[in-house]
Amino acid sequence: MKSIKQFFVALLLLCAVPAFAATSLAPGKDYTVLSSPQPVQSGNKIEVLEFFFYGCIHCYHLEPYISTWKKKMPGDVTFTYVPATFNPVWEVSARTFYALETMKMREQLHDPLFTAWNSGIELMDQTSTARFLARNGVDSAKFNSAYNSFSVQSSVMRAKQLGQAYGLRGTPTLIVDGKYLITGLQPGDTVRVLEALIEKARSERPKK
C-alpha cells in the first residue's frame, strides 16, 4: 500500500513540473530586460510591438497565434506591427505594409502577403508586389502612389529608427512596454511569455 501511495505522489510531482514551468518566467531565457528602455507611445496602456518581416517563416508561423491572442487582448493593452528593415528587400515589405495601411487595406491583405512570401511567390520589388496586389483587388496606381509617398517613407524611417533603438537583431521580436524583449521562442511559448510580461508590466505601472 505504501509503495502504491509513493507511486501516485511521484506521479503528481511529475505532472506538477510542466505546470510550474508553463507559468514561470526565466529572464535571459524566456525574455530579455532591455538595458535602455524606450518611451512608449501608448499613454496609459501597455504597449506591445511586434517587429516582423513578411518573408520570415518564423513570423509566418507566429502570426496565427498572435491573431488569436489579439481577439482576447486586454483592454489596457495596445498592439502594433512594426516592419523590420534590415536590407532593401525587407524595405519592400515595410513600404508595402505602410502603403496598404494608408489605403486602409492592410488588415485584409496581411495574411495573403504572409502566405505569398512564404510559398515561393517572389515579391522582391515594387513592381512584383503591385502585380500581386492587383490580383487581390488593389488598385495599382493608388498603391504605387502610396508606396512612393513621403508619409510611407517617413513611416519606414521611423520603423528603422525604432528597430535600432531596441537593438533589433532578428524577427519575430516582441517588445512589451518598452522594456522587455521576446524572441527565439516557439509560437505558443511566445504568447505565454507575452501574457506573463503584460501582467508584470501592469503590476509595475503606477496604481490609479
| pLDDT, tens digit, 9 for 90 and up, residues 55-94 | 999 999 999 999 999 999 999 999 999 999 999 999 999 9
| Per-residue pLDDT at 1 | 45
SS3 assignment, position 49: strand
**Distance (Å, whole) CA 35 – CA 200:** 17
Q: Take residue 13 and report the three cell numbers written for it.
A: 510531482
Residue 19, C-beta contacts closer than 8 angstroms, at least 6 positions apart = none
Residue 18 has pLDDT above 80, yes or no: no
Q: What is the pLDDT of residues 156-176, one digit of tens each?
A: 999 999 999 999 999 999 999
Residue 172: asked if its preceding bond is cis (omega within 30°), the reply is yes
| Per-residue pLDDT at 208 | 64
Q: What is the pLDDT of residues 101-158, one digit of tens each?
A: 999 999 999 999 999 999 999 999 999 999 999 999 999 999 999 999 999 999 999 9
Report the 10 Å Cβ neighbour count for 42. Answer: 17
Residue 12 has pLDDT above 60, yes or no: no
Residue 197, C-beta contacts closer than 8 angstroms, at least 6 positions apart = 25, 31, 176, 177, 180, 182
Residue 8 has pLDDT above 50, yes or no: no
Angle between helices 106-117 and 88-102 (to 10 degrees): 150
Residue with cell string 500581386: 132
CA angle 137, 82, 134 (to 5 degrees): 15
| Per-residue pLDDT at 28 | 85
| Per-residue pLDDT at 24 | 76
The domain 26-204 having CATH identifier 3.30.750.24: the answer here is no
Q: Take residue 33 and report the three cell numbers written for it.
A: 530586460
Q: Take residue 34 and report the three cell numbers written for it.
A: 532591455
